Amino acid sequence: MKKLIIVFTIVAFCGSTAYAMDMSKHIGFGAWAGGIMPINGKVNTEDKLSDFIGMYAFPAAEIKYVIIDKVAVAANFGYGYMPIKKDKRPPELKDQTPALNMPYFSLNGIYNFGPMMKAENNKLNPFVTAGAGMYMWYFSKNERTDKLPAPAKPEEEFKASSLGINFGAGAEYFAMEKLAVFGRLNYHMVMMKNKDKFGEDFGNQGFLTFGVGVTYYLPIKKAE
């Protein structure tokens, strides 16, 4: 029994003596969960979006391809659901749950610093990432249905598909040969401003996302 415990301990904390992070020509399938919160951007002359919305749960998924050990490209998918604070809801919506919904898709580049670390058996890979994508956001009246009217054009819905950019950093740790756990933080700037539809004072909005997750890597088989 003692020998078995020793074996499991070595696998968990040391793993293979081979360089664990050379995932060149691998596809990584990742999922993570954490939080999302607005951090900058006004909705009118006096209030920021963060005055109306706090921090809420945020799920996301990622598929990435490691070109070489230091460079990868990734497709990211996420969904932000952010209910408006109760004390900020208009009287006609006091008994409902108005919210900002923000599903998005982005393409990112990733630069890995792990291969630059010379420590033997290193399994830690800090990284930076940046990219752009489409944010299909809307304000709903109740949960995710019944969209609210646009402030400047009430005959239209308070929604848009807006371009956005994001950048961030994180680190992954290879707990097993092909399995990594990671933490990350990203800033998103979403180009929501539309004077004709949302009014003069509703601007572009910035959001912070953060969380922890796992990625499993599969090798790309070479054509024979």
For every residue of 3-39, DSSP letters joined together read: HHHHHHHHHHHT--SS-TT--TTEEEEEEEEEEEEEE
Instruction: Tell me if 182 is assigned to some domain.
Output: yes
**Cα Rg, the chain, nearest whole Å:** 21
Contact 188, 167 (CB under 8 A): no
pLDDT band at 132 (very low <50, low <70, confident <90, very high): very high
Instruction: Tell me if 212 is assigned to some domain.
Output: yes
Instruction: Tell me if 121 is assigned to some domain.
Output: yes
Instruction: Tell me if 128 is assigned to some domain.
Output: yes
End-to-end CA distance of the chain: 45
Instruction: Tell me if 132 is assigned to some domain.
Output: yes
User: Which stretches within the chain are classed as H helix?
Assistant: 2-13, 49-52, 195-198
Distances (CA, A) of 34 to 109, 126, 136: 21, 19, 20
Q: Residue 54 belongs to a domain with what CATH number?
A: 2.40.160.20
Residue 108, SS3 per DSSP: strand
Over the stretch 145-181, which tens digit does the pLDDT of each residue have?
Answer: 789 999 999 999 999 999 999 999 999 999 998 999 9
Backbone angles phi, psi at 116, to 5 degrees: -85, -10
Instruction: Tell me if 224 is assigned to some domain.
Output: no
Closest CA to 61 of 34, 25, 29, 37: 29
**% of the chain residues with pLDDT over 70:** 88
Closest CA to 65 of 125, 19, 105, 25: 25
Distances (CA, A) of 168 to 17, 80, 126, 138: 30, 17, 11, 24
Enter the tokens of residue 41: 């951007």
Model-level pTM? 0.86
Domain assignment of residue 182, given as a range: 2-218
- Residue 214 pLDDT exceeds 60: yes
- Residue 18 pLDDT exceeds 70: no
Query: Average pLDDT in the 191-209 region?
Result: 95
**How many CB atoms lie under 10 A from the CB of residue 12?**
10
pLDDT of residue 32: 96
pLDDT of residue 10: 38
pLDDT band at 44 (very low <50, low <70, confident <90, very high): confident
Q: How many domains does the chain have?
A: 1
Instruction: Tell me if 223 is assigned to some domain.
Output: no
- Residue 1 pLDDT exceeds 60: no
Closest CA to 31 of 100, 69, 70, 78: 78
